[in-house]
């Protein structure tokens, strides 16, 4: 049974060896999972297989997809929160409103929104659907999901209208895959505008010109001359938005991430969601357990690092301007404060936006980020990358 599973993982380009496969078989034979019952669950097998077969956390997402495909769509679900009955948040009907009907719906201000949600949580006793007041689905209430409100709090469900100013949900993001093969070399070519070479390290490279000169001066006796290898001296600090609306741009961002990792020897990268606040992270599965304070990032890296943000800058304006505006937690300081600190600490900076440039003018949050970046925002196109690299190399 497990031999086809092994080949499924190999087909998914996971670096799984026969030795690791045999380790999994041995663990099963010795009853590592299942215990006295003798019949392990799918969840138990999933975690054991991942532990034995996957040695790099960057491959976790690829393993998940291969595992799910092999076991014919078996879903591994985790109930992160039971604060509200699941039935309240389950979508039954899809709401379709005309532009005129949407325009007639009034939106609450930030303080009113938070105070009203507190009251609803205290008062609501049952499921509601299609309404405009209670926490529910398929309506015009500012609380719930699968409906429409120009400014609300999404609770459960999936986002669609991109109008939520807060999201009450435990979301799991995946790390960008830095091993993705690029469909084009042009991204790498654009990044090379930022390279600055210097010779360093041991003498590993043949100096052909000096070898010829010394051999000729030595009456034809071969005199080989070696020089240190050339390395790119540019230092890059990469901050990448992940999750939410960025899911639409995963493939293009992964292409960029792969190219950056191959072109720059001195690269440090971290993740954030929507806007940078008081902490960032390196592993999306442990983003709340392994935080890196943004102040530490500012203090750790020198001013000669080139700071590159990658994100669609698509969010509620509150997330940029308001303390507590983050959709995930109550940040003590506004995102704008942290963006200003970062750009002050690293004078050479740019923002790469995967969102089509034609829609920038319709997103208030993009205009705010552009202002904070002093118009140093570039689209994730070849022309945009060349412009960003040209600016950073000055």
Provide the pLDDT confidence category of residue 158 given band limits of 50, 70 and 90. low
Q: What is the DSSP string of 168-236?
A: ES--------TTPPPS-SHHHHHHGGG--EEEEEEEEEE-HHHHHHHHHHTTT-----EEEEEEE--EE
pLDDT at 207: 75
Segment 176-224, tens digit of pLDDT: 655 544 344 567 767 777 765 444 455 566 778 888 888 888 878 888 8
Provide the pLDDT confidence category of residue 61 given band limits of 50, 70 and 90. confident
pLDDT at 217: 85
What are 384's two structure tokens?
């945009």
Given a cut of 70, whether residue 44 has pLDDT beyond it is: yes
Average the pLDDT over 271-293 and give the result. Answer: 88
End-to-end CA distance of the chain: 59
pLDDT over 90, % of the chain: 23
152 forms beta bridges with: 164
pLDDT at 306: 92
What are 145's two structure tokens?
């999901």
Provide the pLDDT confidence category of residue 113 given band limits of 50, 70 and 90. confident
Q: Tokens 């998914």, residue? A: 12
Cα separation of 167 and 94, whole Å? 20
pLDDT at 104: 65
Average pLDDT over the chain, rounded to whole? 78
Are the C-beta atoms of 147 and 95 separated by less than 8 Å? yes
Residue 382: closest CA among 185, 177, 90, 228:
185
pLDDT at 194: 72
What is the pTM assigned to this prediction?
0.55
Name, in order, each residue with C-beta under 8 angstroms of 81's C-beta and a sequence gap of 6 or more.
169, 170
Name, in order, each residue with C-beta under 8 angstroms of 277's C-beta and a sequence gap of 6 or more.
294, 326, 331, 333, 335, 338
Given a cut of 50, whether residue 247 has pLDDT beyond it is: yes
Given a cut of 50, whether residue 140 has pLDDT beyond it is: yes
Provide the pLDDT confidence category of residue 34 given band limits of 50, 70 and 90. confident
Given a cut of 60, whether residue 174 has pLDDT beyond it is: yes
- Residue 378: which H helix or E strand, with range? strand 377-379
pLDDT at 298: 95
Cα separation of 7 and 12, whole Å? 9
pLDDT at 87: 56
Of the listed ranges 224-233, 266-275, 359-368, the one predicted with least confidence: 224-233
Given a cut of 80, whether residue 99 has pLDDT beyond it is: no
Residue 227: closest CA among 213, 206, 211:
206
Q: Is 380 exposed, middle or buried (0-12, 13-18, 19+ CB in 10 A)?
A: buried
Given a cut of 90, whether residue 344 has pLDDT beyond it is: yes
Are the C-beta atoms of 154 and 163 separated by less than 8 Å? no
pLDDT at 78: 35
Are the C-beta atoms of 307 and 301 separated by less than 8 Å? no
Of the listed ranges 191-205, 279-293, 345-359, the one predicted with least confidence: 191-205
Interior/surface letters 51-67, b for 16+ CB within 10 angstroms, e for the rest:
ebbbeeeebbbbbeebb
pLDDT at 127: 75
Q: Left (φ > 0), alpha (ψ -120 to 50) or beta: where does 156 sit?
A: left
């Amino acid at each position: 049974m497990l031999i086809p599973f092994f080949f499924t993982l190999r087909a998914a380009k996971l670096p799984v060896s026969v030795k690791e496969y045999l380790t999994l078989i041995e663990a099963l034979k010795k009853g590592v999972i299942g215990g006295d019952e003798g019949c392990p669950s799918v969840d138990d097998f999933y975690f054991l297989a991942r532990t034995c077969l996957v040695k790099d956390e960057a491959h976790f997402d690829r393993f998940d997809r291969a595992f799910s495909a092999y076991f014919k769509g078996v879903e591994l679900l985790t109930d992160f929160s039971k604060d509200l009955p699941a039935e309240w948040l389950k979508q039954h009907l899809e709401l379709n409103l005309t532009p005129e009907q949407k325009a007639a719906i009034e939106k609450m201000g930030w303080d009113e929104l938070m105070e009203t949600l507190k009251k609803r949580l205290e008062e609501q006793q049952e499921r509601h659907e299609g309404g405009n007041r209670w926490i529910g689905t398929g309506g015009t209430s500012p609380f719930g999901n699968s409906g429409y409100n120009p400014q609300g709090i999404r609770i459960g469900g999936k986002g669609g209208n991109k109008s939520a100013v807060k999201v009450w949900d435990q979301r799991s993001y995946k790390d960008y895959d830095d091993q993705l093969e690029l469909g084009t070399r042009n991204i790498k070519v654009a990044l090379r505008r930022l390279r600055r070479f210097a010779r360093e390290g041991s003498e590993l490279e043949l100096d052909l010109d000096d070898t010829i000169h010394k051999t000729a001066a030595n009456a034809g006796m071969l005199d080989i001359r070696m020089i240190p290898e050339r390395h790119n001296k540019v230092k890059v600090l990469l901050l990448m938005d992940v999750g939410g609306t960025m899911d639409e741009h995963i493939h293009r961002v992964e292409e960029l991430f792969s190219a950056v990792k191959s072109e720059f020897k001195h690269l440090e990268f971290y993740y954030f969601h929507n806007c940078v606040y008081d902490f960032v992270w390196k592993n999306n599965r442990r983003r709340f357990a392994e935080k890196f304070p943004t102040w530490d990032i500012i203090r750790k890296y020198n001013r000669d690092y080139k700071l590159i943000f990658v994100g669609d800058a698509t969010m509620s304006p509150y997330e940029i301007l308001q303390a507590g505006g983050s959709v995930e937690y109550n940040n003590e300081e506004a995102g704008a404060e942290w963006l200003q600190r970062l750009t002050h600490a690293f004078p050479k900076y740019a923002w790469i936006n995967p969102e089509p440039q034609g829609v920038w003018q319709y997103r208030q949050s993009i205009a705010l980020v552009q202002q904070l970046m002093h118009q140093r925002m570039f689209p994730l196109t070849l022309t945009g990358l060349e412009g960003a690299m040209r600016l950073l190399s000055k």
